[in-house]
Amino acid sequence: MARTRTAGIQVEADGSKVVDKRVFGVRIKCRLGKLGQDQAEAWLAQETQKLRQAKLFGARAQRTFREAAIRYLEEHTEQACIDEVAWHLKLLDPEIGKLSLPEVHDATLAAS
């Protein structure tokens, strides 16, 4: 992997960007795909700002239903029925994937 002008952003052989950096003791690692350098730097700056807000002010990031679903699937791969869970989550994603977790409740689901 080749380095770029920004520490923590690397370029893979196919031209896609990979972020691997420690900020405030937290590792930020993500494959961004074939983005431009400016877009990759903007993404890294946004993630760094979220961590800074959390450290300085105790602010917690608002997770979306989609982010929580992905995390759940990654952490529960050993479950026998994980394929069924993934199928159900895939059905729900277009309707409520963009909502933050506090916005997901019975009234929201009834309105969809």
Question: What does the pLDDT look like over 45-104, one tens digit per residue?
Answer: 999 998 888 888 887 778 899 999 999 999 998 989 999 999 999 999 998 999 989 888
How many independent structural domains does the chain possess?
Answer: 2
Distances (CA, A) of 52 to 2, 12, 55, 97, 107: 27, 28, 5, 26, 34
Cα 29 from chain centre: 10
Same domain, 45 and 74: no
Same domain, 11 and 52: yes
Same domain, 81 and 46: no
Same domain, 45 and 70: no
Same domain, 53 and 69: no
Question: What does the pLDDT look like over 73-85, one tens digit per residue?
Answer: 999 989 899 999 9
Residue 30 lies in domain: 2-57
Question: What does the pLDDT look like over 25-39, one tens digit per residue?
Answer: 888 898 888 989 999
